[in-house]
Structure 1
């Protein structure tokens, strides 16, 4: 059969319409089928990478005047299988990272004391089922003397008795370590007396350690006893650097409590390091920093200066030779203003007596949260 040109054109239009209709129907019927393959030039989107853990560091004295002993904890939002750490600049001794059995926390630390006034970067790498993830922890170690340690007087009442020296020093420590000043020296004295384990009219070493922990739970102060003034001084400097917190020294034969905030000399990487050289102690004193003329009748034989408010250097000749400092060991009994004698050694029966008497006593934050503050410190030197 022969078709005219017009008839063939009409047939083509009909076929085209039928084809388009068929494609529409097929698309409708199979629209819930598998997705179309990507067109050339549009590659398939890659899968989102697995989310890494969130890791936080718990570092008490971080981060501008950090303790020179680096041992902190870390916590992870997901389970960690292993961890390692590198510390730069290289401290010259081993550093390591540990993982708790739960896999959700661990520690990071180094074996010795880091260099002072130095910027460090601890890079922790944790490995989970999703891979390895790095976390940076920068900090700067303290220098030889802490700065910004606010001073408080023990003479809140200029006409009162000088019984609040240790309480005022507690206030100094509390304000520096917690950035809070909730109690006056008199209020600290009133709070702390109930914790005394002696008949001391002020605060004894147990009361000092206890009240510091009561005011700031992160503080773990304990008292330590030494047979010689030299050992007590070396320990005070060591604990200052190790903790990054002020150390209280019980001076004046057990009746005063200035705060050590620094030292003069050099210190190496551990307690008995031959490089250690202590030439002087830097002290804040809540009595001898008080320049109010109304308080000058108390020990007028001892010089006062504003330096005791910010950190007064004391050479070892004076530190060891002046009875205001460490010329004499802790004494008990002591003579009271009325001439009577008062026994002020520890008397609760926990330790044999004499206990404090005849020794040189300091109080330092040793980080031992498991040891109650009414017990003698037990942390060993490194």
Structure 2
């Protein structure tokens, strides 16, 4: 009876350990097969496999068939793993744990599996539910995800049960008319048509309209009667709001207060680059035509203007009040609300509007006593004039 592949237990009284291991080497080389033996010979060449001990043979085979994994590559595979269609949360978590075995996460292993589990889930609703948990462990995340998964599965079953209304079939008549409700004819093909009753699924979607050649515009036309909220009507009804001219804040004027004993500061006009001088002049004329600024002959206060060209070709003008009015301005200290306070005021709101006023701060008028504080000099080739610049926002910023 052949005994290849089987050895008795080592008995130190009968043989030496080296002889016992040599016997195991011979058995290993006999049972691995010709293909593996040839591969092992190539790996150990020029040394023959029989000349190596059992440990050397094991290391050579393991290095070839099970190379030592690269941690960064294993972690890349781990972080690229997403939940596949039809894969349960439990199976997905087990697959993540298998991939993490060679990633060497150490004590961070539970957190790594938890994070990858949340990021890789297919259900956005489950992800949002998990992300609101402050103290979320892997066990708790798995429990919540499995509950959400079961709830989705039960919901789908209820929907399928509710959409199981029967569909009635009626015959197609050759000379049927459009919109009969019980029969239809398309092109030269005739047959049975499915008529939908109840709350069953849609028979075909909009994509079919391009394949079924019919005059759909005459069959399916939706009109809205007495629509008074069209854009044209809104623009006509509220034409004063949408006109291109600047509006004016009515019933209120801005008053600037300076500290007692403040001395007026007069700064020269800054040089304007030749490339934008024409644009600056056009902007000054535009503001003057809207009543934002006006010319004066003299003033004890003067703040230089700063031209800021934009990509659309316009050149907005700003006043540099950092060395004139700002240091002596008596500013009202109003506590600004925090974003959290503003958001709490919107609780329960359903509809929100966003208003964007054109040059909003130009629509605020300064009172007569405050206008000299914001005077700005303008230099040209003919003479020097002074301009009142009505823009309180530029003063306070």
More relative contact order, 1 or 2 (CA 8 Å, 6+ apart): 1
Q: Greater helix share, 1 or 2? A: 2
Q: Greater strand share, 1 or 2? A: 1
- Both proteins in one fold, TM over 0.5: no
Larger Rg: 2
TM-score (norm 2): 0.20
